[in-house]
Amino acid sequence: MKDYVDDYYHFIKENNIPIGKKIQQAFERHYKDIEKSKDDSFPFIYKPEESIKPVQFIGSMPDPKSLKANELAPFQKFILGMLYGWRTKDGNHRRFRKAYISVARKNGKSLLVSGICLYDLLFARNPAASRQIYSSANKLDQAKIVFNMVKTQLNAIRNQSKAIKNFTKVNRYEILCNDESVMKPLATDSSTLDGLDVLTAVIDEYAEAKDTTMIDVLQSSQAQQADGLVVMISTASSNLNGPMYQEEYAFISKLLKNEVKNDQYLALCWELDSLSEADDERNWVKANPLLSNKEVAKNMLIHKRSTLEEARGKVNLSNWLTKEMNMFVQSSKQSFIDKESWDAIKATKAYDIKGRKVYIGLDMARTSDMTAVSWVIPIEEEKKLLMDTHAFVSTIGGITYKTQQDKIPYKQYEEMGLIHFSTHPDGIIEVEQMTQWIQDFIAMNDLQLISIYYDPALANRAVAELSKVYPKKLVEIPQRINYLSAPTKNLRDLILRKEIMHNNNPLLTRAAYNAELREYNDAYAIDKSINRNKIDAMDAIINCMVDAQYHDFEAPSLQDLIDSDSFGFGF
């Protein structure tokens, strides 16, 4: 029996083709699930024969440029084998309802998903009629790329098949079928997102999405679809605060490591495992599976070598690594810290912070913005600092409006306990709410407060409230370059030396990715490129780093001195 998943696995092994960790993990998941399927309690079964017809049909489609048959590569057949081969035991429906497919540019991803859309439009039988197929993206022009590929392929079939010609009608922005099935391009900014009943949808270049609007609408529309499928297909981007990286990539990383569970989510990501692998061309196939085709590889390698030389000449590899090697990398050469260095300092376990020393920094906001409370706690046994943050968000204009404006999932962050919304009737940030939270945080964790460090702008009321409880513990940090340069530079150095950690708090991570390093006559400060790119949490960290940067892990505590008998009381 033909098995395209097995074929790809053996193709890789027999030809000694390097694959990345995530593809290796996808194979492991597949074969483990085949074993699980032998148990009646596992609701899915792998039927490789179910993918034969889709592969044959999509492989016979013409390439929109050459109009020659689109011969599928082994990795493309592997994708189709996974999508169509895995079924439910009850009803023989699709197992996978959502798919994350990511490869570097020019690896045939749009051509592949256009074939999926056309196949489901013409041949899917659940539902037997009124199938809704959508190619979607952030902008209509992007959504039209897959849609236009489908049109080209369908027109070629219509020229050869009278039956298909009579069954379909091709208009400028829609394809109609006699059974009332339809395919259209759909954009996030479209006015027709409500009332959908989607069977199959493709979200092209999801890495560029600013929010989850499109995927939320598409998934919610499939409640009555037994075979509903949403395919996110994309190359990585520099949009590190977008939902593809912040939510989907983070989720599939855990899913493939079996840290979370979702049996109906397919995760296939061809990428390099580290930046250092980009130096060796033999690794490039990890992100570019079409390089395993010698005929295609020749021109691909010429292009990649040429663009790499140009990127090196411009001393900016970010875009090349993102587009050619499918790696999420910040685009700005002025980034405060690079993604790989930030990822490298994630705390590997949860630390009990009770009874520890704490440096607290404040970044006060105007009434309609966000106030950040960040802190640095020395973890004595690790001889490292631990940083984290919490925020207070204005509700002026409504949370929906703020979420759309700032491109931040505020409701999700509230559910995670990372922020507090204002409870004031007018939605303004309440100083009393913030200062009480600080007191509760210190008291509940029995923290030894070193000091609270604040930007004097807008902080008068907060200082007045906090000084009642913590007299002589408040330190004003003027927001001038001569005050901020040393803690800014030293924080960056501590990150690079892995002498500081973070708890993978997405609010702090977002600020780290947004922050850009500015140099002024050999002095340093952080800034942001556009107003919605919030860096409040990192500003607050830098305020408390004024003293935390000098924390002495070797300094003995009073109890240590008493226990050591190193001094007497003179009696």
pLDDT digits (tens, 9 = 90+) for 229-246: 999 999 998 888 889 998
pLDDT of residue 38: 96
Nearest to 541 by CA among 499, 489, 487, 472: 487
pLDDT > 50? residue 386: yes
Residue 506: half-sphere exposure toward Cβ, Cα within 13 Å:
19
Render pLDDT for 174-219 as a digit per residue (tens, 0 to 9).
999 999 999 999 987 655 666 789 999 999 999 988 888 889 999 9
Mean pLDDT of 429-443: 93
Rounded Cα distance between 489 and 341, Å, is 15
Predicted structure pTM score: 0.79
Rounded Cα distance between 72 and 155, Å, is 20
pLDDT > 90? residue 1: no
pLDDT of residue 520: 76
Mean pLDDT of 441-470: 93
pLDDT of residue 458: 81
Rounded Cα distance between 231 and 98, Å, is 6
pLDDT of residue 570: 47
pLDDT > 60? residue 529: no
Render pLDDT for 450-461 as a digit per residue (tens, 0 to 9).
999 998 888 888
pLDDT cut 70: percent of the chain above it: 93
pLDDT > 50? residue 125: yes
pLDDT > 70? residue 11: yes
Neighbouring C-beta atoms of residue 84, cutoff 10 Å: 25
- Confidence class of residue 569 from pLDDT cuts 50, 70 and 90? very low
Rounded Cα distance between 108 and 149, Å, is 12
pLDDT > 70? residue 567: no
User: Would you state the structure tokens that stand for residue 561, as one six-digit string?
Assistant: 């001195």
Which position has the token pair 């490039």? Answer: 284
Residue, of 407 and 409, whose pLDDT is higher? 409
Mean pLDDT of 58-65: 79
- Confidence class of residue 571 from pLDDT cuts 50, 70 and 90? very low
Number of helices (H) and strands (E), helices first, in the chain?
Answer: 21, 19
Q: At what angle do helices 109-123 and 74-85 cross, to 10 degrees?
A: 40
Q: Do 215 and 203 contact (CB within 8 A), yes or no? A: yes
Rounded Cα distance between 561 and 569, Å, is 12
Neighbouring C-beta atoms of residue 457, cutoff 10 Å: 11
- Confidence class of residue 248 from pLDDT cuts 50, 70 and 90? very high
Residue, of 565 and 116, whose pLDDT is higher? 116
Long-range CB contacts (within 8 A, 24+) of 378-382: 378/548, 378/551, 378/553, 379/351, 379/501, 380/356, 380/553, 382/501
Render pLDDT for 307-328 as a digit per residue (tens, 0 to 9).
999 988 877 788 899 999 999 9
Rounded Cα distance between 402 and 408, Å, is 8
pLDDT of residue 562: 52
pLDDT > 80? residue 441: yes
pLDDT cut 90: percent of the chain above it: 65
Render pLDDT for 86-110 as a digit per residue (tens, 0 to 9).
999 999 999 999 999 999 999 988 8
To the nearest whole number, what is the mean pLDDT of the chain? 89
User: Would you state the structure tokens that stand for residue 26, as one six-digit string?
Assistant: 């996808």
Render pLDDT for 488-527 as a digit per residue (tens, 0 to 9).
999 999 999 999 999 999 999 999 988 888 877 777 788 8
